[in-house]
Structure 1
Amino acid sequence: MENAIEELLTYKGLIVALWLGAFFVAERLYPAAPLPPELGAATARSSWLRLARNASLWLVNVGLSPLIVLPLSLWASGQILNWRPDWWSGALGLAFDLILLDFLIYWWHRANHVVGFLWRFHEVHHLDRFLDTTSAVRFHFGEVVLSALARAGVIILLGMPFTSVVVFEVVVLCAAIFHHSNLRLPAVVEKPLSKVIVTPSIHWVHHHAVRKDTDSNYGTLFSFWDRLFASFSRNHRQTDMVIGVEARPERSLLGLLARPFTG
């Protein structure tokens, strides 16, 4: 069992790394929107500082994974309530788990915008003044720990196999990299995709620095949750939309780490 888990986790890291690298290159070859003036070519240093901030936050969370996130999920998988019926297993069970976990992450994401305590951590993700693949891995370590605790509860209560959790994490990370990316997609491709999954044009609106839009389009994988629960924004992406948090400036790396604990 341990060998199988190690192999699964190894493939997880490899898949995500290759996916991130591919989109990082593609969005620079075919960008959907130019960098805002403060991050443009004339201020290359600001652009590199932004990438360094995002990478640093990501590296902190990479370090936390084997220390907190992974052990917590493994512990929870050993405490599961064995109430699942026989049909809820195998390929069908995995598919059902992925849909269910995406439904739950929709509500968790929504809670991060509604509950003030959670928003203080999640705001760090939204303070980014531009969207690209690096935005997908820019989260405060406190949010990562809180999400791991919430996930542990789901694993125990729903009797969720650890395999389903890892597969879902791979799918969600790849989906997040995709819909945060600045890759220019033809309308003939993106429009039909957006009916089912969250695309860059949908998530771009979620990062619009207008609170009404920020508090919408919470979906991570499937886009229909927002339509079902009346949180879908009718606003359309514009390449000149201001990205970030309304009336809040971007912060330094130390400022971002301290943000949840300051006024």
Structure 2
Amino acid sequence: MDIGIASLLAWKGVIVGAWFLAFFLAERLRPAAAPLAQREREPRGGTPRLGRNAGLWLLNTGLSPLLVVPITAWAASQSLDWRPSVWSGWGGLLLDLLLLDLLIYWWHRANHEIAFLWRFHEVHHRDRFLDVTSAVRFHFGEVILSALARGAVIWLLGFPLHSVLVFEAVLLLASIFHHSNLRLPRGLERSLSEVIITPERHWVHHHAIRQDTDSNYGTVFVIWDRLFRSLNPNPRRLDMVIGVEGRGEQTLLALLLQPFRRNSDVNSSDRNRAPGSPADSAH
């Protein structure tokens, strides 16, 4: 591996790890909502919520060097060579970051609107509370599917590997921020929410009501939700029930098996619909 890429990966790990720890501590010192222990009973026989989320994260961390990184690196090395020379340097990097954020918006939206993808993404939404650990709670199947989809886009559009790695770092920082339970000053959150996805906007996305869950798909910038009419104007209420409408939390093993069970189509069989109609009509 090129030493520049290796250094970038190392710095990415350090920065994201420090950011995660800072928000993990800050949200416990200044929480926006009451701790989970006061809001939800754990599923029978299940590990505590943080244990479930940590288990999913550890599994995906193990998959990363085995599948995710090799797929991404191969796609970048074999990508179609069509990008003009002006699409390089700092300007090219900024354009790459903007395009990758647009693409992750549509991938996230597809995970809600296509029943097969929702079977895996639902594991993320089954979390009954939001904090920084929610940002790393994903089913390994979704991680693999996401790596394959991202690899196809990298190969087709010719994104250089360093642009992808920088965006992945930005993506993780943004996800940790907007999943956090940190109470921000009202004025600051209102100002930030005009540009980027904030905890308040993403809290509504995790509301256990379908029309709210199927909105606010943005990850970094809010512009895509505005442009494609998926922005939800409803304000966050701290008494909103977090999770999946009609579905409860599960044990770690049940979460891992959930996408492969026949009954996982319940509440998701109607997700094969064209973007921009039922969910958006409510906003």
Q: Where on the TM-score scale, by shorter chain, does this alignment land: which range?
A: over 0.9
Tell me the equivalent position of 1:175: 174
Q: Is the 8 A contact 2:32 2:183 kept in 1?
A: yes
Tell me the equivalent position of 1:22: 22
Tell me the equivalent position of 2:70: 71
Tell me the equivalent position of 2:38: 40
Mapping for residues 152-191 of structure 1, pairs under 5 Å: 152-191=151-190
Moved more, 41-50 or 247-256: 41-50
Tell me the equivalent position of 1:228: 227
Q: Is the 8 A contact 2:76 2:158 kept in 1?
A: yes
Q: Does 1:206 align with 2:171?
A: no
Q: Distance in 2 between matches of 1:54 and 1:79?
A: 35
Tell me the equivalent position of 1:61: 60
- Opposite residue 29 of structure 2, the aligned amino acid is L
Q: 1:251 to 1:43 in 2, by over 3 A?
A: closer
Tell me the equivalent position of 1:117: 116
Q: Distance in 1 between matches of 2:125 and 2:39?
A: 23
Q: Distance in 1 between matches of 2:89 and 2:38?
A: 49
Does the residue aligned with 2:95 lie in a helix, a strand or coil?
Answer: helix
Q: Gaps (5+ residues) in structure 2?
A: 264-283
Please identify which structure carries the higher helix content.
1
CA-based RMSD = 1.7
- Opposite residue 217 of structure 1, the aligned amino acid is N
Tell me the equivalent position of 1:131: 130
Q: 1:174 to 1:60 in 2, by over 3 A?
A: same
- Opposite residue 23 of structure 1, the aligned amino acid is F
Percent sequence identity is 63
Q: 1:154 to 1:41 in 2, by over 3 A?
A: closer
Q: Distance in 1 between matches of 2:40 and 2:147?
A: 40
Tell me the equivalent position of 1:5: 5
Q: Deviations over 1:176-197 (max 9, x none)?
A: 0000000000111010100000
- Opposite residue 169 of structure 1, the aligned amino acid is E
Q: Gaps (5+ residues) in structure 1?
A: none
Q: Distance in 1 between matches of 2:239 and 2:114?
A: 29
Query: What is the CA-CA distance between 1:44 and the residue it aligns to?
Result: 9.3
Tell me the equivalent position of 1:193: 192
Query: What is the CA-CA distance between 1:42 and the residue it aligns to?
Result: 9.9
Query: What is the CA-CA distance between 1:128 and the residue it aligns to?
Result: 0.1
Q: Distance in 2 between matches of 1:49 and 1:224?
A: 37
Tell me the equivalent position of 2:31: 31
Moved more, 138-147 or 78-87: 78-87
Q: Distance in 2 between matches of 1:158 and 1:45?
A: 44
Q: Distance in 2 between matches of 1:236 and 1:42?
A: 23
Q: Distance in 1 between matches of 2:244 and 2:43?
A: 22
Q: Distance in 2 between matches of 1:43 and 1:261?
A: 26
Q: Deviations over 1:9-40 (max 9, x none)?
A: 1111111110000000000000001135xx22
Q: 1:48 to 1:21 in 2, by over 3 A?
A: farther
- Total equivalences in the alignment: 261
Query: What is the CA-CA distance between 1:45 and the residue it aligns to?
Result: 11
